[in-house]
Amino acid sequence: MDTTTTKEKPDAHHIHKESKHTHSHSGAAIFHHHHHSLHEPNQHLLDKTSPASRITWIGLFVNVGLAISKGIGGVYFHSQALIADAIHSVGDMIADFLTLATVNVAAKVGTPTKFPLGYGKIESIGSFLVSAILLFAGISIGWSSLISIFEFVLPSYWYDIVSQVHIGHSHSHTDMLTSSDHGHSHSHLSGLAEPELRPHKVVPNINAAWLAGASIIVKEILFRETLKVANQTNSKVLVANAWHHRIDSLTAVVALLTVTGGVLFNVAWLDSVGGIGVSILIIKAGWDTIKEAWFELIDRGEKPGSELYDKIDEIVRQELLSNEELNKFKLAQLSVLSSGANTNIRMVLHTDVKGIDLKMLNKYEEQLSALIKEDDKFVRNIFIQFKEVDQLEDEHTHEHEHTHDHTHSHDHHDHTH
DSSP structure class, residue 171? -
Amino acid letter for position 9:
K
Q: Are 279 and 139 in contact (CB under 8 A)?
A: yes
DSSP structure class, residue 8? -
Amino acid letter for position 258:
T
Q: How many CB atoms lie within 10 A of CB 161?
A: 10
Q: Where are the alpha helices (DSSP H) in 154-194?
A: 156-162, 174-183
Q: Where are the alpha helices (DSSP H) in 234-357?
A: 236-265, 269-297, 307-322
- Determine the Cα–Cα distance for residues 399 and 378; give it in Å rounded to an integer: 34
Q: Where do you find CATH 3.30.70.1350 in the chain?
A: 307-416
Q: Where do you find CATH 1.20.1510 in the chain?
A: 33-176+203-297
Confidence (pLDDT) at 16: 39
Give the HSE-up count for residue 74: Cα atoms under 13 Å, Cβ half-sphere: 29
β-pairing, 379-388 vs 342-351, is parallel
Amino acid letter for position 241:
N
May I ask the CATH architecture of the domain 33-176+203-297?
Up-down Bundle (1.20)
Residue 214 class from Cβ within 10 Å (0-12 exposed, 13-18 middle, 19+ buried)?
middle
- Phi/psi at 204 (nearest 5 deg)? -60, 155
β-pairing, 2-7 vs 342-351, is unpaired
**For residue 222, which of 244, 250, 253, 237 has the smallest C-alpha distance?**
244
- Determine the Cα–Cα distance for residues 203 and 262; give it in Å rounded to an integer: 6
**For residue 311, which of 377, 362, 365, 364 has the smallest C-alpha distance?**
377
Report the DSSP beta bridge partners of residue 343: 338, 379
Q: Could you list the pLDDT tens digit for every one of the 417 residues in the chain?
A: 655 555 544 443 443 344 444 333 333 333 344 444 444 445 556 566 678 778 888 988 998 999 999 999 989 988 878 888 888 788 777 767 776 676 566 667 788 888 888 877 877 887 788 778 778 878 887 888 888 888 788 888 887 887 788 776 544 444 333 333 443 444 343 343 444 444 456 678 888 889 999 999 999 999 999 889 878 866 556 666 777 788 788 888 888 888 888 888 887 788 888 888 888 988 887 888 889 889 989 999 999 999 889 999 999 999 999 988 898 999 999 999 988 778 899 999 999 888 888 899 999 999 999 999 998 888 889 999 998 887 666 666 665 555 555 555 555 555 555
State the first-to-last Cα distance of the chain, in angstroms, to the nearest integer.
46
Q: How many CB atoms lie within 10 A of CB 141?
A: 30
Radius of gyration of the chain (CA): 28
Q: Are 144 and 170 in contact (CB under 8 A)?
A: yes
State which CATH number among 3.40.50.620, 3.40.50.970, 3.30.70.1350, 3.40.50.720 fits the domain covering 307-416: 3.30.70.1350
